[in-house]
Amino acid sequence: MPFFNQFPKIMYDFNRTGTAQQMVNIFRSVRPQSSLLNDSTLYKKFTIPDGMRPDVISEKLYGTTDYYWTFFIINDFLHDGLQAWPMSEKAMRSHMDKNYSGLALQFTPTTLNLDGTVATKNSLAGKLELGAFIYGLTSGAIGRIIRKDLDLNIIVVDDVIPGVQGRNPQTGSIDNNIEGGSFKTNEYLQSEWTDLEGVTRTLASGSDTLLTLKPDKIFNYAEAPAFYYLEGDPEERPVTTPDIIPTQASQITPVYSELQWNLNLQSEIKNFDLDQLNQNALGDKAFIATNTSVGEPLISSGGYQPSNDDISGQIVYKSNRDFVKDKNDARSVIEVINPAFIGNFIEEFERVLNA
């Protein structure tokens, strides 16, 4: 029986004219009790073959395509509909090509201790904006920033155009410092953004300051880290990135998101001696000091803090490609109703739905 044929009908005045029309009450919802989903008599595991559709599986199990909707009722992750159905290998390749193209540039923030207050350089916090162009001052490469991830200290750059040797990427003039090619590790980057006070900021170059950025690692985005975890952790719980913190498990701290920073929080950051920082162009509150008593982020947005007796393995990462594949593989194993009980399930579902 088609799914919505089982739903009760209601009268509804769509146009507020006093004339009601009959419609299916799509707001009704019925879910099986979670305790019953562990009943091996009523339910069993089914591994979805590559690319097989729900209606084909229904035909295979129950001799009709009409019961495809039961898969979406009894599997929580399928409550989002067909978009949550596992992708075929072909579809997954297309998904990766579409959503994980471009380069991922990863940075290693380092800290400056000024009169007991910690400031961070080579950090993405408070810098760059999505959609802006970014230039490599050694490679001459140009790209557009499509993602910024403070937890992983990564920006994703798409539409990359390799540099031309001897030509400045911004002005087109002769520049013998330009080597050509794609973005390079340890090269200064150039880009502009508008800060929270409406002031246009520009990345600096020539010497390391709070306004410079140099990538330490460059990945194809599909192969870039999706998250880091402690090797040997069966749950692969995300932790902070390894280059920013010691790799001992007991010293890992929670990670934070730039979305938590706001004007009120930035106003709590102490003023710094700008001459001491050699940042004459940098006004106060234009950068962020993180994980200190001054301006500490409000909410942990990810990661966890292991205890001393927790897993003590090395920190490793799972790539975006492997993360997507693992998630897709997990979704390929679903609960299905035992064919011997499918008739009873349909009858009870319709009874409760229309009660």
Whether the CB-CB separation of 189 and 103 falls below 8 Å is answered with no
E strands within the chain? 9-12, 21-24, 43-47, 103-106, 110-114, 117-121, 133-136, 142-149, 154-161, 189-190, 192-194, 200-202, 217-220, 225-230, 315-319, 333-337
Tens-digit pLDDT profile for residues 260-286: 333 333 444 334 333 333 333 333 333
Query: For residue 117, what pLDDT is reported?
Result: 66
Given this model, what pLDDT does residue 224 score? Answer: 96
Structure tokens at 90: 């072909």
Q: Residue 251: what pLDDT? A: 41
Give residue 151's pLDDT.
Answer: 82
- What integer pLDDT is reported at residue 170 of this predicted model? 87
What is the per-residue DSSP string for 67-92?
Answer: GTHHHHHH-GGGGG-GGGSPPPHHHH
For residue range 144-157, list pLDDT tens digits in order. Answer: 999 999 888 899 99
Neighbour tally for 168: CB within 10 Å: 17
* Per-residue model confidence as pLDDT tens for the chain (355 residues): 455 455 555 565 566 776 766 654 454 555 555 545 456 678 899 999 999 999 999 999 999 999 999 999 889 889 888 899 999 999 999 999 999 999 999 998 887 665 666 677 888 988 999 999 999 999 999 999 999 998 888 999 999 999 999 999 888 899 999 999 999 999 999 999 998 888 999 998 888 788 899 999 999 999 999 988 888 778 887 875 444 433 333 443 433 333 333 333 344 433 433 333 333 333 333 333 333 333 333 333 344 444 444 555 677 889 999 999 999 999 999 999 999 999 888 888 778 766 6
Residue 115's pLDDT is: 64
Q: Which residues neighbour 141 within 8 Å (Cβ) at sequence distance 6 or greater?
A: 135, 160, 161, 162, 163, 169, 181, 182, 183, 184
The whole model's pTM is what? 0.71
